[in-house]
Amino acid sequence: MRVIATTVASALVLVCATGASVYAAPPTGPPVETALAPVVELSADRLATAELMAAAKWHSGDPVEAPEREETVLAQAERSALDLDGDPATALTVMRDQIEANKVIQRGRHAQWYARPEQGPEGAPDPTGVRAELDRITPALVGALTEAGAGLSAPDCEAGLERNVRRVAAERGLDRRGRAALRMALSSVCS
How do the domains of the chain map onto residue ranges? 31-185
CA angle 43, 45, 49 (to 5 degrees): 110
Is pLDDT of 3 > 80?
no
Give the pLDDT confidence score for residue 30 in this predicted structure.
Answer: 55
Is pLDDT of 90 > 90?
yes
Q: What are phi and psi of 115, to 5 degrees?
A: -70, -35
CA angle 101, 106, 111 (to 5 degrees): 125
Is pLDDT of 25 > 50?
no
Residues 43, 101: Cα–Cα separation, whole Å: 10
- Percent of the chain past pLDDT 70, that is, above it, reads 84
Please state the CATH superfamily assignment of the domain spanning residues 31-185 in this structure.
Answer: Chorismate mutase (1.20.59.10)
Task: Work out the mean pLDDT of the chain and round it to a whole number.
Answer: 86
The model's pLDDT over 111-155, given as tens digits with 9 standing for 90+, comes to: 999 999 999 999 889 999 999 999 999 999 999 999 999 999 999
Q: What are phi and psi of 120, to 5 degrees?
A: -65, 160
